[in-house]
Every structure is written in C-alpha cells, then in structure tokens.
C-alpha cells in the first residue's frame, strides 16, 4: 500500500470539504473494494476520509411512501430489513446473491454503488488497461473476455459492472442522494448515475470530487412478484455471468434489469415494453445493440434462457 493520511470525518459537510480540498483524497466506508485495490496499488489515495461515523446508517420511510436508505447501511442490514423484504424483495434477493457473508457485513449501500467496474486485466498491473492507466490499451479485448460485458462497451473498455445490488436499484428506479463540498445536495436518478466507458473508462459515475453519497431513495413500492436470478460459475460467492432482476405485474406487464452483461446495470424501455410478448421478445429488445467477443457470446442465449425460466416460473405461480 502507498502511504496516505487518514481522518475520521465529523459531519457530512466536513467530509465533503475534506475530500474536495486534498488532491487524491478518497472517502472510505466499508473499504472492502478500496482496500483490496490499494493493496495492489491500483488505487493510491493520498488521504482517506472515513465516513463511517456520520449517522448515515438509518432506513426511513419518505413522505412519498418510499424508502430512504442511508449510504452507510450495511448490505446485510439492508437485505434483512423487514420493509425491504416485504416491499422491495428483489433488493433483498440481489444483495444476498452478492459477495460473501463477511463482505456483506462490512459493505455499505453507497460503497456497493461505487465499487469499481472491473475485469481481470484491471487487476493485473502487468497488463495494459485503459481504465487503470488511460491510453495504455485494453488487454481484455483480445484476451480472456468470457465474463465481460456485451452492452454499453467501447473500443477502450469491455468491463462489466459487478454489482448485484445496483441491478435491483436500477430496477426499482432508485435515486442517489449526494452532498458536495459547497453543501449543495442533489438527487441523481440511478439511470443517469453511471457513465458508459466511451473514451474515458477511468470515469465511472457522474459524481464530482468530494461529492458524497448520503442516501439512496426508493420510490413507493410497485407491488408485483419480485425475482432475482443469477447465473455464475459456482453456486455462491462469484460474480454474475448473467443476472436478471424482474418484477412481474398481475396484468402481464413486467420490468427487467440485467447484471453481468452491461458496462453499467442494464435496463431499457424497449425490453420492458416487450414484456407481454415473452422471453424471446424481451431478449431481442435488450440485446439489439450487443457487441460480443468469441468468449462471451454465450451470454446472449443465456439471457434468453434465464428469461424463459423466469416466465415459466411466473406462469406456474399464476
């Protein structure tokens, strides 16, 4: 690890100010992704601002009937929350499909959203990577790309977004609430939160330096049947090859969000609109612009098979 200075922030405002005023500063919450990357010197913060003690660990009802989830609520606590289990079950399901019990006890809501979009070449400092070192090229493009993204990719980067939780957040139309160093708060729809890689895969979100996630807000519950299906190389503690979060309505409508296939958690209006026409139609809609490699083109039929399985399960329920 490169050396850094450390401070425990006393307030949201102070944390944002500290992170904005020191070049190379980073917030640290659970730290499960950041410290991992610091050990490999892929992340080399000069200063860490610890945001664990800011009282951002509550889950509250909003006046609109939704739910405000503090940025520091741990993944375990969010998955176990009674309201989340009842009204936003896909979020519970997605959370427990991710990582391990130890990691979920530490990882936070805000930190989960901000874990790096990453691939094995990002982790291997002997290989070129436009995300880790802009302009050096991409080792994955001609390399082993089996797990990598097929949607939203660019000539610079084909890394897939690794979060399960974020897929559910995208499905539920979450808003990411932040505060910047000037004390200005804003709410960012999760659809606009993640940037596509384009020519700058090193930039992953719209957040500014020093802008701190304070909470994630869910709109009021939409009802329906919530499911999260994750297919991976082993039964537990592995990233998704493909995952699908779905909410089936009682009127034949449905909405879908996808993990493992996109440079960000993936959802399209076209796929949701195709829902009454079944798995094939939804697959065609969501994968219209897919760009695969010989290693990861299996993800296209896998998307359809997962959807077909979810539809069949839904029919059996009805």
Partner 1 sequence: MSANEVTRRGILGSAAAVAAASPLVGRAVAAENGSRSEKGSAMIPIELTVNGREVHFQLDPRTTLLDALREHLRLTGTKKGCDHGQCGACTVMLNGRRINSCLTLAVMHDGDSVTTIEGLGSPEALHPMQRAFITHDGYQCGYCTPGQICSAVSVLEEIRAGIPSHATEDLDRIVPSEAEYRERMSGNICRCAAYPNIIAAMRDVAGETQA
Of the listed pieces 177-185, 201-209, 234-242, 290-298, which binds partner 1 according to CB under 8 A?
234-242
Does 236 bind partner 1 (CB under 8 A)? Our answer is yes
Does 270 bind partner 1 (CB under 8 A)? Our answer is no
Does 223 bind partner 1 (CB under 8 A)? Our answer is no
Beta carbon of residue 123, minimum distance to partner 1 (angstroms, whole number): 10
Nearest to 77 by CA among 106, 34, 98, 50: 106
Of the listed pieces 81-89, 185-193, 249-257, 283-291, which binds partner 1 according to CB under 8 A?
81-89
Beta carbon of residue 293, minimum distance to partner 1 (angstroms, whole number): 26
Q: Are 263 and 149 contacting, i.e. CB atoms less than 8 angstroms apart?
A: yes
Exposure string of 32-51, with b = 16+ CB inside 10 Å and e = fewer, is bbbeebbeeebbebebbbbb
Does 172 bind partner 1 (CB under 8 A)? Our answer is no
Handedness of CA 41, 47, 53, 54 (dihedral sign): negative
Does 136 bind partner 1 (CB under 8 A)? Our answer is no
Does 8 bind partner 1 (CB under 8 A)? Our answer is yes
In angstroms, the Cα distances linking 33 to 19, 164, 242, 270 are 18, 15, 21, 33
Residue span 99-118 as binding mask against partner 1, x where in contact by CB under 8 A, dash where not: xxxxx-xx------------
Does 75 bind partner 1 (CB under 8 A)? Our answer is no
Does 31 bind partner 1 (CB under 8 A)? Our answer is yes
| CB nearer partner 1, residue 93 or residue 170 | 93
Q: Are 53 and 73 contacting, i.e. CB atoms less than 8 angstroms apart?
A: no
Beta carbon of residue 129, minimum distance to partner 1 (angstroms, whole number): 18
Does 314 bind partner 1 (CB under 8 A)? Our answer is no
Does 6 bind partner 1 (CB under 8 A)? Our answer is yes
Does 231 bind partner 1 (CB under 8 A)? Our answer is no
Question: Rounded to 5 degrees, what are φ and ψ at 286?
Answer: -75, -30
CA 265, chain centre distance (Å): 6
Half-sphere exposure (CA, 13 Å, Cβ side) for 203?
Answer: 10
Structure token pair of residue 103: 């990691």
Looking at residue 207, what DSSP letter applies? P
Q: Are 25 and 214 contacting, i.e. CB atoms less than 8 angstroms apart?
A: no
3-class SS at 189? strand
Of the listed pieces 2-10, 110-118, 147-155, 266-274, which binds partner 1 according to CB under 8 A?
2-10
Does 48 bind partner 1 (CB under 8 A)? Our answer is yes
Does 89 bind partner 1 (CB under 8 A)? Our answer is yes
Q: Are 241 and 96 contacting, i.e. CB atoms less than 8 angstroms apart?
A: no
Among 13, 14, 44, 80, binds partner 1 (CB under 8 A): 80
Beta carbon of residue 122, minimum distance to partner 1 (angstroms, whole number): 14
Place of tokens 């077909």: 308
Rounded to an integer, what distance in angstroms lies between the CA atom of residue 128 and that of residue 6? 31
Residues that bind partner 1 (CB under 8 A): 1, 3-6, 8, 28, 30-32, 35-36, 39, 48, 50, 52, 76, 79-80, 85-86, 89, 92-93, 96-97, 99-103, 105-106, 235-237
């Amino acid at each position: 690890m490169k050396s850094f200075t450390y401070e425990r922030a006393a307030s949201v405002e102070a944390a944002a100010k500290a992170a904005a005023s020191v070049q190379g500063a980073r917030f640290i919450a659970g730290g499960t992704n950041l410290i991992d990357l610091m050990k490999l010197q892929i992340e080399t913060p000069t200063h860490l601002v610890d945001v664990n003690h800011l009282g951002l660990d509550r889950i509250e009802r909003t006046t609109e009937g939704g739910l405000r989830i503090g940025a520091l609520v741990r993944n375990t606590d969010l998955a176990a929350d009674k309201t989340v289990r009842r009204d936003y079950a896909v979020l519970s399901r997605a959370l427990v499909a991710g990582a391990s019990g130890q990691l979920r006890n530490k990882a936070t809501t805000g930190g989960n959203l901000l874990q790096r979009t990453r691939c094995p070449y990002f982790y291997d400092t002997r290989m070129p990577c436009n995300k880790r070192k802009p302009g050096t090229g991409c080792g994955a493009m001609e390399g082993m790309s089996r797990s990598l993204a097929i949607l939203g990719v660019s000539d610079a980067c084909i890394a897939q977004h690794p979060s399960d939780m974020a897929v559910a957040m995208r499905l539920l139309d979450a808003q990411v609430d932040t505060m910047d160093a000037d004390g200005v708060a804003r709410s960012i729809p999760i659809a606009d939160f993640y940037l596509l890689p384009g020519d700058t895969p090193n930039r992953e979100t719209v957040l500014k330096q020093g802008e701190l996630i304070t909470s994630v807000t869910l709109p009021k519950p939409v009802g329906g049947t919530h499911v999260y299906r994750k297919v991976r190389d082993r039964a537990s503690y592995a990233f998704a090859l493909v995952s699908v979060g779905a909410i089936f309505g009682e009127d034949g409508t449905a909405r879908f969000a996808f993990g493992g296939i996109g440079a960000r958690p993936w959802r399209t209006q076209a796929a949701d609109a195709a829902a009454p026409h079944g798995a094939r139609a939804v697959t065609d809609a969501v994968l219209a612009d897919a760009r695969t490699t010989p290693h990861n083109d299996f993800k296209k039929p896998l998307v359809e098979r997962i959807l077909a399985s979810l539809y069949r399960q839904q029919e059996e329920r009805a």
